[in-house]
């Protein structure tokens, strides 16, 4: 097997691991990885504005609005008007949201973060350079992306039982 095939297999395995984790998450918690990340942000911050969440995720305010609508429909978050500035809305995790986080499968992204941060600086730089080169090779440098291991559009509506094509 040549290096081209080996590299394509490695990319496919990364994509497949991400896809399988997303399916697992959808099945067990009824959430997408980005929805889980919103809940994790709220767990850490206790309350946050949609703008703060958008900045942490690296996505637009419109995308966060859609995510919050979906999480609100599942009673995992609640919106509260700020006591200081009535124009501002604060987002807070509900008990349902806390329960969903507690019952989630092990996060694939956290495993990656832990392993990556345990590497030496030179190793991290080498991996970042290689990944950025792959992005360039695929003409994907202009695609909107946040630092989440997830497949597809960040604001998609994915039902827990919806089949995915393989």
- pLDDT digit string (tens) for 38-97? 998 898 888 899 999 998 888 888 889 999 999 999 999 999 987 887 788 999 999 999
Question: Which pLDDT score, from 0 to 100, does residue 27 have?
Answer: 75
At 60 the pLDDT is 85
DSSP 145: -
pLDDT-based confidence at residue 154 (cuts at 50, 70, 90):
very low
Please tell me whether residue 87 adopts helix, strand or coil conformation.
coil
Classify residue 31 as exposed, middle or buried by CB count within 10 Å of its CB (0-12, 13-18, 19+): buried
Among 20, 48, 63, which residue's Cα sits nearest to residue 164? 20
- Report the run of H or E that residue 79 belongs to, with start and end: strand 77-81
51 within 8 A of 68, measured Cβ to Cβ:
no
- Return all residues near 57 (Cβ < 8 A) that are at least 6 apart: 34, 37, 38, 41, 63, 64, 146, 148, 154
Residues 40 and 58: their CA atoms lie apart, in Å, by 15
Number of neighbours of residue 12 by Cβ within 10 angstroms: 10
b/e per residue, 112-149, with b = 16+ CB within 10 A?
Answer: eeeeeeeeeeeeeeeeeeeeeeeeeeeeeeeeeeeebb
Put simply, whether the predicted model's pTM sits higher than 0.95 gets the answer: no
CA dist., res. 91 & res. 35, Å (int): 13
Please report the pLDDT score of residue 149 as a whole number: 63
pLDDT digits (tens, 9 = 90+) for 111-130: 888 899 999 999 999 999 99
List pLDDT tens digits, range 21-32. 777 777 777 788
Kindly state the percentage of the chain with pLDDT values over 90.
33
pLDDT of residue 84: 81
């Amino acid at each position: 097997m040549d290096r081209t095939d080996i590299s394509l297999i490695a990319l496919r395995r990364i994509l497949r691991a991400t896809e399988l984790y997303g399916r697992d998450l959808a099945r067990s918690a009824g959430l997408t990885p980005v929805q889980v990340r919103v809940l994790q942000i709220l767990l850490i911050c206790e309350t946050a504005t949609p703008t703060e969440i958008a900045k942490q995720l690296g996505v637009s305010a419109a995308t966060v609005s859609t995510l919050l609508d979906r999480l609100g429909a599942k009673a995992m978050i609640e919106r509260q008007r700020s006591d200081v500035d009535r124009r501002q809305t604060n987002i807070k995790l509900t008990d349902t949201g806390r329960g969903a986080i507690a019952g989630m499968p092990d996060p694939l992204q956290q495993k990656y973060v832990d392993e990556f941060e345990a590497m030496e600086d030179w190793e991290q730089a080498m991996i970042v350079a290689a990944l950025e080169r792959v992005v360039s090779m695929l003409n994907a440098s202009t695609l909107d992306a946040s630092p989440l291991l997830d497949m597809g559009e960040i604001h998609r509506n994915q039902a827990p039982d919806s089949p995915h094509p393989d």
